[in-house]
Amino acid sequence: MDQMLAEFWQNPSSVHRPGQQARHRVELARKQLAGLIGARPRQITLCGSGTEAIDLAIRGSLLAQGRVGGALRREPGAIITSKVEHVGVRDLAGALEKEEGARTLWAELDGAGRVRAESVRELLAAHSDVALVSIQWANNETGVVHPVREIGAICRERGVPFHTDATQWVGKVRVEEGVEGSRHQGIKGGTESAALDAFDLLTFSPHKFHGPKGVGVLYCRPGVRTSPLIHGEQEQGRRGGTENVPGIVGAGVAAELAMAWLAEPSNIAKGRTMRDRFERTVLTGVPDAVVNGIGPGVERLWNTSSIGFSRLEAEALLLLLSERGVCASAGAACASGSLEPSPVLRAMGIPAEVAHGTLRFSVSRETTTEEIEQAARIVMECVARLRASMSAVS
């Protein structure tokens, strides 16, 4: 990225030699990003963020179908999604309802917060005007993995486009995981992976696998159309705007490094072991804590842990942890001076006293066992300190 800023800062759309050198680096990064998911480079559209890529996938698909935008050629129809989606999907569905008259149909969840594939099938059977289905691959707060391949097959049977927000999955787990005979040749061969057969549209963001922020990626299956939301000649007319060359190049390198890491299966096993060790240690010290997203047969991402601490406020606990060097996130947002549980936790039916005190912890491929042990000890100490202060006040 430093080299791009210092030496190849020229506009990649320029025809002069320096501009074309910048273009070459962009196209190499596109190939690297395509290789990470087993796609062909021409199926990749580079955006400014994962959220923008989601918007282009969903709104762009509806525009291409003539469902939204100005004088409608067709009725807006319905979108099937879930209440545990990333806010970029949930809020977009709400905006399309308000601005374009589209309807949102909510797929049912099981007890662990996983989308029921059969619910999607039932909604498709009951509503003939469904224009798109959008279900995330894995949840950004709990790490719960949804049955996206099964849902994709159901959508294909009905001829309805299927989008998956794969931001939490790509770069952390192989896209071809669980698909027989789908290992792709990746960067060198440039062949498309059978693992993508379930998806019409797939979006992800390299900053989730150690890449830079400010880059999003949209994969479109051949034959699937999207209309641009930002007009211009860049990205084959799919998305206008001069490319963020340093960010894109950094994203390509991150994709290449992620592929190398994923090529060794023991790496994921090691990450899962550290996550489980962290959870066991915390639960031993705080017996009434709850790990969200656990259920029979439920798969979770190896790097994500959502733990609820009953009768505590997440914001207060976060401040204590931050002072001790532990960086975590709350599944909550401050609204009108009061802390409200996250929509994801509410949709899962998590009791309010647990949801209010839920934090999300993440490990990465660089996390060490020593850091896990230290973090767990600090969490237990901070919970005890906060509860002691609450008891003193009461």
Catalytic residues: 334
Query: Which residue carries 């998806």 as its tokens?
Result: 199
- Helix/strand/coil percent split, the chain, to 5: 45, 15, 40
Helices in 38-145 by DSSP H: which ranges? 50-64, 87-100, 117-126
Phi-psi region of 262 (alpha: psi -120 to 50; beta: other; left: phi over 0): alpha
Contact 201, 44 (CB under 8 A): no
DSSP 291: E
Q: What span, in angstroms and rounded, lies between the C-alpha atoms of 392 and 135?
A: 46
Query: Which residue carries 């842990």 as its tokens?
Result: 305
Q: What span, in angstroms and rounded, lies between the C-alpha atoms of 306 and 355?
A: 10
Contact 61, 130 (CB under 8 A): no
Contact 151, 122 (CB under 8 A): no
